[in-house]
């Protein structure tokens, strides 16, 4: 990279005479370097943001990511569990009945 091509006076002159092939080369060089710098900046920002979010996901960011230990409640009571088991047994019986005695559904196209 030739730093002497990137001074503002040279760029201003190149823009003024942009129809000349030599000046187009200067403008193309400036454009290419601006694109490279923008790409590196975007890549750096994305990497920093990703690292920030990764660190926050590990629980190191806020400090209160884990639930308190004294707020644990039993997930199911025995009565609730028995109600769920009875409901599943009733559905099995209903399924077996419908499998042996399918309902007669009329043909809608007739």
Q: What is the mean pLDDT of residues 64-86?
A: 75
Q: What is the mean pLDDT of residues 20-49?
A: 90
Spatial separation of the C-alpha atoms in residues 104 and 78, rounded to whole Å: 40
Q: pLDDT higher for 26 or 39?
A: 39
Q: Which residues contact 17 (CB under 8 A, 6 or more apart)?
A: 23
pTM exceeds 0.85:
no
User: What pLDDT sits at residue 5?
Assistant: 45
Sign of the torsion formed by the C-alpha atoms of 73, 75, 81 and 87: positive
Q: Which of 3, 67, 59 is nearest to 30 (CA)?
A: 3
Q: Would you say residue 22 has pLDDT above 60?
A: yes
């Amino acid at each position: 990279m030739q730093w002497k091509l990137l001074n503002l006076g040279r760029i201003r002159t190149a823009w003024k005479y942009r129809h000349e092939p030599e000046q187009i080369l200067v403008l193309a060089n400036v454009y290419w370097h601006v694109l490279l710098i923008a790409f590196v900046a975007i890549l750096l920002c994305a990497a920093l943001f990703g690292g920030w979010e990764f660190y926050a996901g590990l629980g190191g960011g806020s400090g209160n990511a884990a639930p308190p230990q004294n707020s644990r409640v039993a997930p199911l009571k025995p009565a609730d569990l028995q109600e769920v088991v009875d409901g599943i047994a009733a559905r099995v019986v209903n399924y077996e009945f419908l499998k042996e005695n399918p309902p007669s559904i009329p043909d809608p196209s007739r």
